[in-house]
Amino acid sequence: MAFTYASSREQADEVVRSIEAAGSGALAIKADSGDAKAVRSAVAQTIEKFGRLDILVNNADLAHMAPIAGFPEEQFEQLLAVNVRGVFAATQEAVKHMGDGGRIIMIGSVNSNSMPFAGGSVYALTKGAVASFTRGLARDLGPCGITVNNVQPGPVDTDMNPEDGPFSSTLKGLLAVQRYGRAEEVAGLVAYLAGPEGAYITGAGLKIDGGFGA
């Protein structure tokens, strides 16, 4: 298993140790998900290390909320680079090495379908692009035996959006279950799509959002 990280080598090494302790090989690659060349290089390093690529999970994400009239152009370009261009680059490079049974799993957002507060239009734009890309790819890659799906989380307790963060009280009020999701819950859905039971699912947008978009 190979994965990329942006800054914390210590945390990356900890993940490698946990994967190796479970009996699998692991490779941590430092790469900026907004740098298309770095993303393509990460795929190449994975192939060099393991000799094959069966599953790609596009999990990088960047968010910035601001009214559209004053949305900083620099932030706009950064969101496009990470949330859209990086996904394109990783996918384009990965499919060169995938065959029948390959899986591509996007980590999108429920905000591609629902944006219940002001300031999120540009973020929704990027996640809407991922949702559309998923549907198009399902048609492109279906004949090759490769499935493509989009996991769409609602608020999840992460470093970017912690459950005790400044937005938590607002977001919890929009959730049917009135709690943030956990990373392992999202990972469980990803594992299902990557496993044999998910082989007949493609082109789907699967919400895991605690009722955020209900």
CA 23/CA 200 separation, integer angstroms: 29
Q: Partners of 105 in the beta sheet?
A: 57, 149
DSSP code of residue 47: H
Q: CA–CA separation, 211 vs 155, rounded Å?
A: 10
Task: Answer yes or no: are the C-beta atoms of 106 and 150 closer than 8 Å.
Answer: yes
Active site residue 200: no
- CA distance linking residue 2 with residue 212, whole number of Å: 32
The H or E element spanning position 97 is none
Residue 83, classed as helix, strand or coil, is: helix
Q: Of these residues, 5, 123, 180, 192, which one is catalytic?
A: 123
What letter does residue 87 receive in the DSSP assignment? Answer: H
Would the CA dihedral through 201, 40, 108, 169 be positive or negative? Answer: positive
* Alpha-carbon gap, residue 112 to 116, rounded angstroms: 11
The residues annotated with a catalytic role in the active site are: 123
